[in-house]
Structure 1
Amino acid sequence: MIDIHCHVIFGVDDGPTTIKDSVRMILEADKIGVDKIIVTPHYKKNVYNSDNVLENFYKVKSRIKDFGIDLFLGYEVF
């Protein structure tokens, strides 16, 4: 199963605030059969912290590398 709209990158929008919360959310997705997630943080200048998206995305991706879940980066653009 593929989740095509998910806010699991910590510290960048109204999603999780910590990497621990990101990992917890991904583990929950795994429990229901999700094996691919397209993460879609909000993108709106001067509203969300878009500067940290790439860095935090790769931190999460590295943390879950052995979970059997693939992460892909997208955006939810306003």
Structure 2
Amino acid sequence: MEGLQEVRSDVQEIKQDIKDIRLEIKSLEMRTTGNEKDIININKQLDKISANTTWILRLIVGGIIGATLTFLMKGGGM
């Protein structure tokens, strides 16, 4: 009888472990979903930063070209 009681106790312990594991899985799934949303937002922000960087580079290059042309047109090169 004592062996049967131990088995029942072990089964109850295993059932509780399974419940705990399920709760942990649900928690991880929720955190993963939140992380995925954060990653999507970060990627959007990176795309915006990349687009802004491209325009900043264009403005800088345009400014340098404009300054060089102005300098040359005023006879600065001679």
* TM-score, scaled relative to structure 2: 0.23
Highest RCO, 1 vs 2 (Cα 8 Å, sep ≥ 6): 1
Structure holding more helix per residue: 2
Q: Which has the larger radius of gyration?
A: 2
